[in-house]
Amino acid sequence: MKELKPELIKLSKADRLYQVEHPVIGLTGGIATGKSTVAKLFEEFGIPVISADALVKEVYKMPEALIFVEKHWPSTIEKKTIRFDLLRKVAFSDDKNRELIEGFIYSKMKLAFDKFYSSLGNPRLLVYDVPLLFEKNLAPKVDLSICVYTSREIQTKRLLLRDSIDIELAKKILNAQMDIEEKRKAADFQINNSGNLDDLKKEFENCLKLLVQA
């Protein structure tokens, strides 16, 4: 079972995210920087990952999520189902909308987290894949943070290609996030994803050597 090097364990259970017993690595990055790919590499290495994005999807399955969205943005509801393409546009058209949505989602995250965590069998090390690690002031609640980063130019190109959106929406999404350079500087460790997949794997392996006990 993989374990974090003792000198990197900073927190007690009482101070850690959702009072998790063993160390937690906070994995973050900007949209389209390759964070999800790095999360898969952690899983392949044998370190379990909980994805905040996956937890958000679970929150949206809760009955109260539909009630919340229908109350504030009824135009995004179709046949008692949330149209996430429309909700995304609403969220990034106005900061107040985005803050309201994020406030609701994060108020329900512990419920979703605890449910997923209980299925993992109390691992000795956990990665929490969370885009808003710094924005939501979660960094002090994890033992260390890793930022997957690339240039803003590459980030924009990947986002356009991946999501098939126009450049204006891409800019709004990127501008709504903490700048990737700020995240990189704020993180304890960094993984550069400016090259190809083989380059990323080498970056990941080099990072692991610094973190995990041999």
Each residue's pLDDT tens digit, 66-107: 999 999 999 999 999 999 999 988 998 898 999 999 999 989
Domain map of the chain by residue range? 6-53+125-211
pLDDT higher than 80, residue 60: yes
pLDDT at res. 169: 85
Mean of pLDDT values over 36-43: 96
Mean of pLDDT values over 47-62: 95
What are the pLDDT digits (tens) for 134-150?
A: 988 999 999 999 999 99
Sheet containing strand 144-149, strands side by side? 49-51, 126-129, 24-29, 144-149, 189-192
pLDDT band (50, 70, 90) for residue 163: confident
pLDDT higher than 90, residue 214: no
At 154, list the tokens.
């590459």
Task: Check if the beta carbon of residue 174 is closer than 8 Å to that of residue 152.
Answer: yes
How many CA atoms are closer than 13 Å to the CA of 67, on its beta-carbon side? 3
Mean of pLDDT values over 179-185: 93
pLDDT at res. 27: 98
Mean pLDDT of the chain: 94
Mean of pLDDT values over 172-179: 86
At 65, list the tokens.
């999520």
Q: Report how far apart the first and last C-alpha atoms of the chain are (Å, whole number).
A: 11
Q: Which fold has domain 6-53+125-211?
A: Rossmann fold (3.40.50)
Amino acid at 60: Y
More confident residue, 72 or 164: 72
Task: Check if the beta carbon of residue 152 is closer than 8 Å to that of residue 33.
Answer: no
pLDDT higher than 90, residue 172: no
pLDDT at res. 177: 84
Q: Cα–Cα distance between 196 and 63 in angstroms, integer?
A: 41
Q: Cα–Cα distance between 185 and 28 in angstroms, integer?
A: 12
If phi > 0 it is left, if psi is from -120 to 50 it is alpha, else beta; for residue 174 that is alpha
pLDDT at res. 168: 87
